[in-house]
Amino acid sequence: MKINTSKINLNKVKRFYNSFLENGLPNRKKEDWKFTDLEKILNSNFDELEPLREKENYKMEAFLKFDHYYLISINGELVNYNLKLSDGSQDKKSTNLTKISSLNDHPIYSKILKSDDKKVSSDNINIDEMLSMNLAFTDRGYSFQIFKDLDKPLVIYNFFDEKLENKLISNSNLISISNSKVKIIELNIDKSKSNYFKNTFQKFQINESEVDYYFVNYNKSNGFNYTKNIIEINDSKSKFGSKLKYFIFGSGSKFRKDDYEIFLDGENSFAKINSAAILKKSQHHEIKTKMSHSEPNCESYQKIKNILLNDSKGIFQGKVLVSDRAQKTNAYQLSKGLILDDESEFSTKPELEIYADDVKCSHGSTSGNIDKDAVFYLMTRGLSKKEATKFIIKGFLNDVVSEIADHQVRELIENHLEENIKNEN
Amino acid sequence: MLKLKELKASIGEKSIIKGLNLEINPGEVHAIMGPNGSGKSTLANVLSGKDGYTVSGSLKFEDENLQEISIEERARKGIFLAFQYPLEIPGVNTSNFLKTSLNSIRKANGKKELDTISLIKLIKEKASELNIDEKFLSRQLNVGFSGGEKKKNEILQMKLLEPKLSILDETDSGLDIDALRIVADGVNSFKNKNNSFLIITHYQRLLDYIKPDFIHVLSDGKIVKTGCSDLAKELEKTGYKNFN
Ligand SMILES: Nc1ncnc2c1ncn2[C@@H]1O[C@H](COP(=O)(O)OP(=O)(O)OP(=O)(O)O)[C@@H](O)[C@H]1O
Ligand SMILES: [Mg+2]
């Protein structure tokens, strides 16, 4: 596979482009890519990728039925938003309530572009091959800041249209939340008919805030997605600590690798990463996490649940790192795969690296087939095999779904999972 | 209602039921006793349609050939099995499951599906008859239930689904004295001239409460003796040694 750069100007980003050319795409010889040979996967799905340059600006509607703020992007480019608060105040008028902009003022992005370092260390960012590739081609994204509690959820609608065949989307987003309590729902709505590759770099800064974040792949998608998320949870003053609950619902994507580096940099911080997905038809999903505890009294929970069928692959690589300062850490990890046929696979690689002595850490991982006796049991109660299997599948994922506190969001997720269960077996 | 002729069932090379004859008419209560491993649960499984057995002989339920009928169809036609070891189904809400089960059976029998409110009312009513606390209904199906609670939950399902033939596989094992009485009352109040029972048990205690019309001794895959309620008392004294 090659990248067609004939139509783009690489002057400003030459060094990233060169570094990308030098290193190439990551393959399974790299520890971090052991289960996901990106080089091979992209080579077998694309002859050539062309960096997307067209920017669309047609109107797309926010469509969720409940009351919400929204932000809309098309193919990764911010096109519209509404953050009119219920009290009538608007983003621009009220002082620094929110600020939304496209890539141009993305502070981190411009900082990296300016710096000469290989590593922008203060920002926890390490410029690896995927980030070099991202920096070489990024031309879109959004950045927003929230400084005040939101009384309704904020929905980020990411639309992807039909014109993405063999395109490379490179985008960069920054979400910064301070002193607020917010719920954010990120929806990917995909109308693409053929393969494209999206390489996203995303950074979250969470300061003295409580954030519930839900990523939902809203429908079936032909996109191949790699997303690197850097999440910094800081807390300098408050004794309660910041809280992040991050849910990933990726069912329906052909390929995704969601890579999270979470930094618990403030005392008493809390982070939760939960995922539930149904993988089928040769889909390949990897969730990779690195949970870094660097301050005392923090808690982290990770729970990954995959249903697998039709030659699909689910992977969880989860690392927990506890520094010597981070006493009284609680860190838990659990991954489970429920495999419905002989061709599918669930792989996990948990890692603990602990330098403090007063910590509670655990990890567990299981994978197995559906319990035939359980199916029989339900069928003796009049349920068809399909219904019985569905009950068991939903029950298996319920562990994650039941942790969604907001009933509107829970309903959205239940429908999303239902759709993905229904369309198969 | 149920007619078994020369029923044989095996798993792989192992033959378990070795030519069994049994006829159960509407309104009758039959008990099956027999040593561990004699094939009692296997018989119950075969009647419910569980996969994995090679079955031969004739199995008729209301003159239909059971071998041609799937597991869920048998349930819908009125065969119910209270499991010796009810399964735990994580993440599945007990009352949701009961609702789905009841409605799928009603639907198959051409009855109107019940709405949620009537369902809940009905489920609560039956649960209270069995002294089952309502909080069990919002728990995950059988998950973390004690042995006795699981058994009571089976009887709750039986009472809700109103089967024609109820097969109770050691429902009495694991029940305390009071629960045994409640379960037996539950069965007796549900019993009428149209429905029948096949009660698998090791103890005559249950049979003191639910009077069987026939008691069969199953040994090594065959019914080796059939008698009336005195047979249970005799077995209690002498054990199965005369039948081996
Ligand atoms: N899947 C299987 N594979 C091999 N053997 C089996 C299987 N299932 C049952 N058996 C054997 O068949 C025989 C009958 O088992 P079954 O469970 O029907 O006995 P049971 O009469 O119900 O005993 P108990 O009183 O202990 O419940 C036993 O020897 C058992 O080990
Ligand atoms: Mg048994």
Tell me how far the alpha carbon of residue B173 lies from the centroid of ligand 2, in angstroms: 11
Structural domains in chain B, CATH included, are 2-84+158-243 (3.40.50.300)
Does the beta carbon of B36 sit less than 6 angstroms from any atom of ligand 1? yes
pLDDT tens digits, one per residue of B210-242: 999 999 999 999 999 999 888 888 888 888 887
pLDDT tens digits, one per residue of A54-83: 998 899 999 999 999 999 999 999 888 887
Tell me how far the alpha carbon of residue B16 lies from the centroid of ligand 1, in angstroms: 7
Q: What mean pLDDT, rounded, does chain B reach?
A: 94
A360 Cβ contact partners less than 8 Å away, ≥ 6 residues apart: A329, A330, A331
Asked if A371's CB is within 8 angstroms of B87's CB, the reply is yes
Tell me what pLDDT residue A4 has.
95
Tell me what pLDDT residue A102 has.
64
State whether residue A379 sits within 8 Å of chain B by CB.
yes
Which one of B49, B70, B97 has the shortest CB-CB distance to A391?
B97
Asked if A383's CB is within 8 angstroms of B101's CB, the reply is yes
- Out of A226-240, A243-257, B50-64, B184-198, which region has the weakest mean confidence (pLDDT)? A226-240
Looking at the predicted structure, is the pLDDT value of residue A349 above 50?
Answer: yes
Averaged pLDDT, B125-150 = 94
SS3 string, chain A, reads: CEECCCCCCCHHHHHHHHHHHHHCCCCCCCHHHCCCCHHHHHHHHCCEEEECCCCCCCCCCCCCCCCCEEEEEECCEEEEEECCCCCCCCCCCCCCCEEEEEHHHCHHHHHHHHCCCCEEHHHCEECCHHHHHHHHHCCECEEEEECCCCCCCEEEEEEECCCCCCEEEEEEEEEEEECCEEEEEEEEEECCCCCEEEEEEEEEEEECCEEEEEEEECCCEEEEEEEEEEEEEECCCCCCCCEEEEEEECCCEEEEEEEEEEEECCCCCEEEEEEEEEECCCCEEEEEEEEEECCCCCEEEEEEEEEECCCCEEEEEEEEEECCCCCCEEEEEEEEEEECCCCCEEEEEEEEEECCCCEEEEEEEEEEECCHHHHHHHHCCCCCHHHHHHHHHHHHHHHHHCCCCCHHHHHHHHHHHHHHHHCCC
Averaged pLDDT, A329-349 = 96
Which one of A374, A380, A387 has the shortest CB-CB distance to B48?
A380
Ligand nearest to the CA of B39: 1
Tell me what pLDDT residue B25 has.
97
Q: Confidence class of residue A424 from pLDDT cuts 50, 70 and 90?
A: low
Looking at the predicted structure, is the pLDDT value of residue A320 above 60?
Answer: yes
- Out of A107-111, A349-353, A386-390, which region has the weakest mean confidence (pLDDT)? A107-111
pTM of the model: 0.92
Ligand nearest to the CA of B218: 1
Tell me what pLDDT residue A97 has.
42
Tell me what pLDDT residue A270 has.
96
Q: Confidence class of residue A85 from pLDDT cuts 50, 70 and 90?
A: low
Tell me what pLDDT residue A148 has.
85
Does the beta carbon of B14 sit less than 6 angstroms from any atom of ligand 1? yes
Looking at the predicted structure, is the pLDDT value of residue A199 above 70?
Answer: yes
Asked if B71's CB is within 8 angstroms of A395's CB, the reply is no
What is the best residue among B8, B10, B13, B40 to mutate for testing ligand 1's pocket, by most ligand atoms within 8 Å of CB? B40
Tell me what pLDDT residue A10 has.
87
Q: What mean pLDDT, rounded, does chain A reach?
A: 90
Looking at the predicted structure, is the pLDDT value of residue B32 above 90?
Answer: yes
Tell me what pLDDT residue A340 has.
94
Residues of B in contact with A378 (CB under 8 A): 89, 97, 101
Tell me how far the alpha carbon of residue B36 lies from the centroid of ligand 1, in angstroms: 8
What is the best residue among B8, B13, B20, B41 to mutate for testing ligand 1's pocket, by most ligand atoms within 8 Å of CB? B41
Looking at the predicted structure, is the pLDDT value of residue A248 above 80?
Answer: yes
pLDDT tens digits, one per residue of B175-224: 999 999 999 998 999 999 999 999 999 988 899 999 999 999 999 999 99
Tell me what pLDDT residue A87 has.
55
Asked if A384's CB is within 8 angstroms of B91's CB, the reply is no
Tell me what pLDDT residue A189 has.
97
Averaged pLDDT, A227-231 = 97
pLDDT tens digits, one per residue of A364-389: 999 999 999 999 999 999 999 999 99
Asked if A378's CB is within 8 angstroms of B91's CB, the reply is no
Tell me what pLDDT residue A214 has.
98
Looking at the predicted structure, is the pLDDT value of residue B61 above 60?
Answer: yes
**Minimum Cα–Cα distance from B77: chain A residue:** A382
Looking at the predicted structure, is the pLDDT value of residue A123 above 90?
Answer: no
Tell me what pLDDT residue A105 has.
66
Asked if A395's CB is within 8 angstroms of B50's CB, the reply is no
A341 touches A370 (CB < 8 A): no
ipTM comes to 0.97
Averaged pLDDT, B117-133 = 94
Tell me what pLDDT residue A101 has.
65
Residues of B in contact with A387 (CB under 8 A): 100, 104
Asked if A372's CB is within 8 angstroms of B100's CB, the reply is no
Does the beta carbon of B241 sit less than 6 angstroms from any atom of ligand 1? no
**Minimum Cα–Cα distance from A397: chain B residue:** B91
Which one of A376, A384, A397 has the shortest CB-CB distance to B50?
A376
- Locus of tokens 């910094």: A232
pLDDT tens digits, one per residue of A140-156: 988 888 888 888 999 99
pLDDT tens digits, one per residue of A279-315: 999 999 999 999 999 999 999 999 999 999 999 999 9
Looking at the predicted structure, is the pLDDT value of residue B82 above 50?
Answer: yes
Q: Confidence class of residue A11 from pLDDT cuts 50, 70 and 90?
A: confident
Does the beta carbon of B219 sit less than 6 angstroms from any atom of ligand 1? no
Q: Confidence class of residue A114 from pLDDT cuts 50, 70 and 90?
A: confident
Tell me what pLDDT residue A117 has.
58
Tell me what pLDDT residue A294 has.
95
Minimum distance, in Å, between the CA of residue A380 and any CA atom of chain B = 5
